[in-house]
Amino acid sequence: MTSPSHVQHEQEQGLGGDQTHDGDTSEEVGASGIAKRASVTRREDGSWRGGTVRRKSSSVVGSLRGRGRFGRMKKAIVTFGKFVGPGFMVAVAYIDPGNYATDVAAGASYQFRLLFIVLLSNIFAIFLQALSIKLGTVSGLNLAEACRAFLPSWLNVILYLMAEAAIIATDIAEVIGTAIALNLLIPQIPLVAGCALSILEVMAILFFYDPSGSMKGLRAFEFMVMLLVLAVVVCFCIQLSLIQDTSVGDVFRGYLPSSVLIEQTALYQACGILGATVMPHSLYLGSGIVQARLFDFDKQSGLLPPTPGVESTSSSVNNGSVGSNKRMYMPSVTAIEHSLKYSVAELVICLFTFALFVNSAILIVAGASLYGAPEAIDADLFGIHRLLSSSIAPAAGTVFALALLFSGMSAGIVCTIAGQMVSEGALNWTLKPWLRRLITRSISILPSIVIAGVVGREGLDAALNGSQVALSIVLPFVTAPLIYFTSVNKYMTVRPGMARYEVHGEDEEGGSRASDEVDSISGTSSQRNLLGRLRWILGRQDYPPDGVKMANGWVVACFGVFVWLVMTVMNVANLVLLGKGAG
């Protein structure tokens, strides 16, 4: 048995210790051993060695962790930068000329108190656009293609006709806005010529937009649209800088609910803001422009099946259409999980940063400069230009016209692309894309030219207002299938494995995420499915063999139904109030 004096002698020897022995022990036991030895070792100056070593170890670990966090953050930012672009194209739909008249009328009537409706409309728009991105990402189909694939033929045709009517109504608004802006900036250009000149936007699309081309070319086109959006934002920044004697507190209080919403005129204008903000064609667009980056990810990651002759980045693999033999690109699970979060984040940032800002700025400028002016409530775009020039400064009218021109040009470009997606997706047209774009634009330009030539300014204003009414009627019918598709696992289940191509709903050469042994088995599909289930149970497969279910949860699905009901009720109320003469 060891005596207490012997134990004390060993402790003193350990504490007083041989420094060289301590160093030898450090080399022998490693970093963790050093820390333990140092905890019972003193230096000659009496300081504890363990505390110093522990602090050094903590600082090194903290530095490595910080460096790791910075590296991950840098990688996330670089990856996010590759997804910038589609959100700007979607944001264009929310700053088109149709928004100008409704926002100005709201500001002139109730100053800043309807900013709450602007905010609410943008929240609804962001939610619906996120669903459209989810549909396009998970299913690999845009909204028109999904309607054709999942709905009865008769219902698909009805929805197509409504969507086509919405496209034409939207395009008419863009043509009118562009023509009026050109006339305001250069009075020598008549309205008829301004309408005809808008055909140049189609030429820009024909030269620059090719969804089946390289990502470099697609990003160049998105950058062009981005510049137009930024030009609109700059114009309204200048407009806001010209405003004087406006309380910032009053402006921000406008984003809170107000009792004025129960008034008939306020309700009518609130419905108008909602109808002008949430645009049907943007839902088709949002679901159709995400596949390019999915395809690029699968291609760069080696997840594309070896299908010869396929060089497309869109959901329709072949350029143009080839009738019943069109191959549909279906993204891999890996591409979906990688891309979805970045696409939604980019969309939310763009809509909150640009769409919400522009719509708020229009109303704020009108509320600060035109509030209480009876002639501003029913003013057309010409009248708004005149009032801004007289109430703020002549430069304000010029900047307003420039913003109208940029928004009309960018919205016209995007609307034409959405029109192509609708017709090709819903009907599987065999027209070449450039011919389809030309026809779509011509259908919108011809009525505008006739109205401008026969009726003049009053006719253009009536056509602009009529286009917004048409969009209000169509919106509930377009949003219903979007909410339905994204809430049902039948349409939102992704088969495990590589990307693949489908023809008539059947898979072509595809891959499997299961191991090579399962891939090499040449049994029946039921045998392969059984083996896949066994591998899933045994934990040797990353995903369940019957697919990864990505439908909306019940909370999101219920909120989607709520949004649909609110929009439908407000749009019906808008039509009723319009019929009663509230507008």
Mean pLDDT of the chain: 75
Q: At residue 215, does pLDDT exceed 70?
A: yes
The residue that leads in pLDDT, 328 or 384, is 384
Contact 159, 477 (CB under 8 A): yes
Q: What is the pLDDT of residue 4?
A: 45
Provide the 3-class DSSP secondary structure of residue 123.
Answer: helix
Residue 476 burial by CB count (10 A; 0-12/13-18/19+): exposed, middle or buried?
middle
536 or 376: which leads in pLDDT: 376
pLDDT of 435 strictly over 50: yes
At 545, is the pLDDT very low, low, confident or very high (cuts 50, 70, 90)? low
| Minimum mean pLDDT range among 429-433, 539-543, 558-562 | 539-543
What is the maximal distance between C-alpha atoms in the chain? Answer: 118
Least confident of 151-155, 175-179, 343-347, 378-382: 378-382
**pLDDT value, residue 126:** 94
Q: What is the C-alpha to C-alpha distance for residues 408 and 318, in angstroms, rounded to an integer?
A: 31
Residue of 34 and 170 predicted with greater confidence: 170
The arithmetic mean of pLDDT across residues 491-518, rounded, is 55
Q: Are 363 and 115 in contact (CB under 8 A)?
A: yes
The pair of three-digit structure tokens given for residue 79, joined into one six-digit string: 């990856």
Mean pLDDT of 433-444: 72
The pLDDT score that the predictor gives to residue 136 is: 92
pLDDT over 70 at 183, yes or no:
yes
Region of 243 (left: φ > 0; alpha: ψ -120 to 50; beta: rest) is beta
> What does the pLDDT read at residue 143?
94
Give me the pLDDT at residue 345, please: 93
Nearest to 118 by CA among 99, 133, 136: 99
Residues 232-288: tens digit of each pLDDT: 999 889 888 888 878 888 899 999 988 888 787 888 888 878 877 888 889 999 998
Nearest Cα neighbor of 582 from 374, 254, 373, 272 is: 272
User: Is pLDDT at 37 greater than 50 in this prediction?
Assistant: no
Q: Which residues contact 107 (CB under 8 A, 6 or more apart)?
A: 114, 362, 363, 364, 365, 366, 367, 368, 370, 371
Lowest mean pLDDT across 153-157, 405-409, 497-501: 497-501
How confident is the model over 179-190, as a mean pLDDT? 90
Q: How far, in Å, are 138, 358, 539 from residue 547 at the CA level?
A: 12, 42, 15
Residues 118, 116: Cα–Cα separation, whole Å: 5
User: To 10 degrees, what angle do helices 457-487 and 143-150 make?
Assistant: 60
What's at 550, amino acid-wise?
Answer: M
Rounded Cα distance, 158 and 152, in Å: 10
Quick one: pLDDT at residue 562?
95
Asked if 60 contacts 79 with a C-beta cutoff of 8 angstroms, the reply is no
Weakest mean pLDDT among 31-35, 161-165, 201-205: 31-35
> What is the arithmetic mean of pLDDT over 194-200?
80
Are 410 and 177 within 8 A, CB to CB?
Answer: no
What tokens appear for 11 in the block?
A: 């402790």
Cβ pair 286, 347 in contact under 8 A: yes
From the CB of residue 574, how many other CB atoms can be counted at a distance below 10 Å?
25
Torsion region of 48: left, alpha or beta (phi above 0 gives left; psi -120 to 50 gives alpha): beta
Among candidates 234, 233, 204, which has minimal Cα distance to 221? 204
pLDDT of 330-366, one tens digit each?
888 888 888 899 999 999 999 988 889 999 998 998 8
Between 164 and 534, residue with greater pLDDT = 164
pLDDT of 213 reads 62
Give pLDDT, residue 55.
Answer: 47
pLDDT at 276 (0 to 100): 76
Instruction: Write the CB contacts of 524 (distance below 8 Å, at least 6 apart in sequence).
Output: none
- Residue 174 one-letter amino acid: E
Q: What pLDDT score was predicted for residue 563?
A: 93
- Give 151's contacts (C-beta < 8 A, 6+ positions apart): 159, 481
The stretch 145-162 carries a mean pLDDT of: 92
Report CA torsion sign: 403, 384, 177, 476.
positive
Q: What percent of the chain has pLDDT over 70?
A: 71
Residue 183, token pair as written in the block: 């006339």
Give the closest residue to 132 by CA, choosing from 422, 329, 504, 335: 422
Confidence of residue 202 (pLDDT cuts 50, 70, 90): low
| More confident site: 207 or 304 | 304
Higher-pLDDT residue of 133, 518:
133
Give dist(CA 9, CA 388) in Å, integer.
95
- For residues 523 and 295, give the distance between their C-alpha atoms in angstroms, rounded to a whole number: 30
What band does 439 get if pLDDT is binned at 50, 70 and 90? confident
Please name the fold of domain 83-495+547-579: Amino acid/polyamine transporter I (1.20.1740)
Q: State the pLDDT at residue 120.
A: 92
The full DSSP string for 516-567 is HHHHH--S-HHHHHHHHHHHHHTT-SSS-TT-EE-PPPHHHHHHHHHHHHHH
The residue to which tokens 């969804």 are assigned: 211
- 3-state class (DSSP) for residue 313: coil
Q: Encoding tokens for residue 60?
A: 């090194």
Helix, strand or coil, per DSSP, at residue 85? coil
Higher pLDDT: 57 or 416? It is 416
At 45, the pLDDT band (50, 70, 90 cuts) reads low
**DSSP single-letter state for residue 481:** H
With a threshold of 0.95, does the pTM exceed it? no
pLDDT for the residue 546: 66
Provide, rounded to the nearest whole percent, the portion of the chain with pLDDT above 90.
Answer: 18
Of 512 and 575, more confident? 575
Residue with tokens 């900013």: 115
Tell me the residue ranges of DSSP E strands in 393-466.
none
Q: Domain limits of the chain?
A: 4-61, 83-495+547-579, 500-537
Instruction: Give the residue with greater pLDDT, 67 vs 350.
Output: 350
pLDDT of 334: 86
Residue 419 has pLDDT above 80, yes or no: yes
Report the distance separating Cα 224 and Cα 91, nearest Å: 14
pLDDT over 60 at 322, yes or no: no
Residues 364-407 pLDDT 10s = 988 888 887 777 666 778 888 888 888 888 888 899 899 998 88
Spell out the residues 6+ positions from residue 447 whose beta carbon is closer than 8 angstroms to its own. Answer: 172, 463
